[in-house]
A and B are shown apart, each in its own frame.
Chain A
Amino acid sequence: AQSVTQPDIHITVSEGASLELRCNYSYGATPYLFWYVQSPGQGLQLLLKYFSGDTLVQGIKGFEAEFKRSQSSFNLRKPSVHWSDAAEYFCAVGPYNQGGKLIFGQGTELSVKP
């Protein structure tokens, strides 16, 4: 079965601390992987995406993610969190030729302590 698992429902970090959000996927074909961010009451904004090439991908707002095929993981990281990063983060997987036909994880809500 195709699925995406985000094991952490809610994470709290202090401002300036590093962040890692976990994502594991199960997908029958070559995965096309995404991280989206959603601020309260807003739509989803793409942070970064990966299909092939360098397994460490850079995104917007200082985020990066690392694809590890052997672990079926695509974890999101940021070296230093800002208060404005508080939001909900979604990992998603889909087919390379239909980038909107996505399977989403349950989401991880990030809170940032001052």
Chain B
Amino acid sequence: NAGVTQTPKFQVLKTGQSMTLQCAQDMNHNSMYWYRQDPGMGLRLIYYSASEGTTDKGEVPNGYNVSRLNKREFSLRLESAAPSQTSVYFCASSEGGLSAEAFFGQGTRLTVV
């Protein structure tokens, strides 16, 4: 069982370039999430999808868009990358509903120069 798989693992972008981070889960979970991790700030929620067909903003959505492609896949897009978006990005999934915890991918380390 792969769990939550993120691609790519590393990426360097130039300011203004666009890219999409991919996330797929094979646990048949209803809910999926995108977080960013910055030193000294823990993880902060960017966007989430409580169920297939829905997406909602989290704490830090500016500069990002998401697509819940199907139940398995949830992508995060940076339309015009900025140095402030240099971070480690984590995708997570959960069963949804009561008492379900989140399972995290291995992360994507993104550097914007």
Interface flag for B11 (CB, 8 Å): no
Total interface residues on A, using CB and 8 Å?
A: 28
**Cβ of B75 < 8 Å from any Cβ of A?**
no
B40 close to A106 (CB less than 8 A): yes
Q: Closest approach, in angstroms, between the C-beta of B35 and any C-beta of chain A?
A: 8
Q: Is the CB of A104 within 8 A of B43?
A: yes
What's the interface size class on B, roughly? 20 to 34
> Majority SS of interface residues in chain B?
strand
**Contact status B33-A100, CB under 8 Å:** yes
**A97 proximal to B (CB < 8 A):** yes
**Is A56 among interface residues, defined by CB-CB distance under 8 A?**
no
Q: Nearest chain-A residue to B90 (Cβ)?
A: A43
* Interchain CB contact under 8 A, A100 and B93: yes
A100 touches B48 (CB 8 A): yes
Answer yes or no: B97 CB below 8 A from chain A CBs: yes
Q: Of A42, A102, A103, A105, which is in contact with the most chain B CB atoms at under 10 Å from its CB?
A: A102
- Considering only CB atoms, which chain A residue lies closest to B58 in the complex? A101
Q: Is the CB of A43 within 8 A of B106?
A: yes
Q: Report which residue of A4, A99, A104, A106 has the largest number of chain B beta carbons within 10 angstroms of its beta carbon.
A: A99
Find out whether the CB atom of A101 lies under 8 angstroms from the CB atom of B98: no
A37 to B4, CA, bound (A): 17
How far is A37 from B90 in the complex, measured between Cα atoms in Å?
Answer: 14
B48 to chain A, nearest CB (A): 6
- B14-48 CB mask vs A (1 if < 8 Å, else 0) is 00000000000000000111010000111111001
**Distance, CA A105 to CA B43, complexed state (A):** 8
Please give the residue numbers on chain A whose beta carbons come within 8 Å of chain B beta carbons, in ascending order.
Answer: 4, 6, 9, 32, 34, 36, 41-46, 49, 51, 90, 92, 96-107
Pairs A-B, 8 closest by C-beta atoms: A100-B102, A104-B42, A100-B94, A43-B104, A44-B104, A99-B100, A104-B43, A43-B106
Q: Which residues of B contact A (CB under 8 A)?
A: 4, 31-33, 35, 40-45, 48, 50, 58-59, 90, 92-107
